């Protein structure tokens, strides 16, 4: 009788372990979550502080030294509302209206639609490559000064942005995955893609709130589709990135401003 009781106890314990949810979870196969981005781009994001860290931020501002003084850009990272301030004009976008306000007697002669968001896009590399409506494709490496930088081509779906025909190629260091180069085309106002790539070298970085962001970038002269000589360098100053969103009033058209149709 004692042996039967022991046998029944063993059977009970076996059934209990088999039906135990914790025990089942230990045995269940792991489910792999598919990423929306190529593995290489995920590694680039990680090398620059991580995409989740970037997505936790809401406000970005930076300054640039221009011939007539400092130009500052402030952007809401979620809505992409922005304002650019220079000594001679302000250029703002509140999500629906693009506006310019002249600050002195010099008339604004720039292309507001083209320039709005341009420098922000260059500055916010590589994280803006996680935007919606983007497709990715591997490209041949860029060979420069004895280093082979793998490339990733970025294209846009129809109707995405002001210039959906634009293309970008990000080149990253093969060991650190840190972004090194950006090749890009300019197709604003055109309905077809271009094969004329311009090159920017990302050669100086700074760490802010756990993110690695540009401190200086350089444009290069291009021959036969390759960068050959540094042409000019742009340094960024007074950079601030924060989880706090800018006051939305900042982006609204000011008195005596012109709405760009």
Q: What is the pLDDT of residues 93-107, one digit of tens each?
A: 999 999 999 998 889
For residue 161, the model assigns a pLDDT of 53
3-state helix, strand, coil in the chain (%, to 5): 20, 40, 40
Contact at 8 Å (CB) between 121 and 135?
no
Alpha-helical (H) ranges within the chain are: 2-19, 21-27, 39-47, 51-55, 112-115, 118-123
Domain 39-260 has CATH 2.50.20: yes
Taking the C-alpha atoms of residue 115 and residue 92, their distance in angstroms, rounded to an integer, is 11
Burial of 237 (0-12, 13-18, 19+ CB in 10 A): exposed
The domain spans of the chain are 39-260
Mean pLDDT, residues 209-233 taken together: 97
pLDDT class of 55 with cuts at 50, 70, 90: very high
Q: Which of 88-92, 120-124, 188-192, 200-204 has the lowest mean pLDDT?
A: 188-192
Burial of 34 (0-12, 13-18, 19+ CB in 10 A): exposed
Closest CA to 169 of 137, 143, 193: 137
Q: Which of 5-14, 131-140, 228-237 has the lowest mean pLDDT?
A: 5-14
For residue 31, the model assigns a pLDDT of 41
Taking the C-alpha atoms of residue 171 and residue 201, their distance in angstroms, rounded to an integer, is 9
Flag whether pLDDT at 4 surpasses 60.
no
Flag whether pLDDT at 27 surpasses 90.
no
pLDDT class of 81 with cuts at 50, 70, 90: very high
């Amino acid at each position: 009788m004692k042996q039967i009781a022991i046998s029944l106890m063993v059977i009970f314990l076996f059934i209990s372990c088999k039906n135990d949810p914790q025990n089942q979870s230990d045995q269940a196969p792991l489910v792999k979550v598919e990423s929306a981005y190529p593995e290489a781009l995920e590694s680039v994001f990680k090398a620059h502080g991580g995409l989740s860290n970037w997505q936790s931020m809401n406000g970005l501002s930076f300054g640039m030294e221009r011939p007539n003084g400092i130009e500052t850009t402030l952007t809401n990272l979620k809505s992409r509302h922005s304002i650019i301030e220079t000594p001679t004009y302000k250029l703002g976008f509140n999500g629906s209206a693009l506006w310019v306000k002249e600050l002195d007697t010099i008339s604004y002669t720039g292309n507001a639609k083209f320039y709005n968001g341009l420098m922000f896009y260059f500055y916010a590399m590589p994280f803006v490559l996680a935007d919606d409506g983007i497709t990715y494709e591997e490209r041949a490496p860029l060979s420069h000064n004895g280093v082979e930088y793998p490339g990733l081509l970025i294209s846009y779906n129809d109707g995405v942005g002001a210039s959906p025909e634009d293309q970008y190629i990000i080149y990253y260091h093969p060991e650190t995955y840190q972004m090194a180069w950006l090749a890009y085309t300019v197709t604003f106002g055109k309905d077809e893609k271009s094969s004329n790539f311009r090159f920017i070298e990302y050669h100086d970085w700074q760490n802010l709130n756990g993110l690695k962001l540009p401190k200086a970038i350089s444009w290069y002269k291009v021959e036969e589709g390759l960068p050959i000589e540094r042409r000019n360098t742009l340094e960024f100053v007074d950079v601030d990135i924060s989880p706090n969103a800018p006051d939305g009033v900042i982006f609204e058209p000011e008195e005596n401003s012109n709405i760009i149709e």
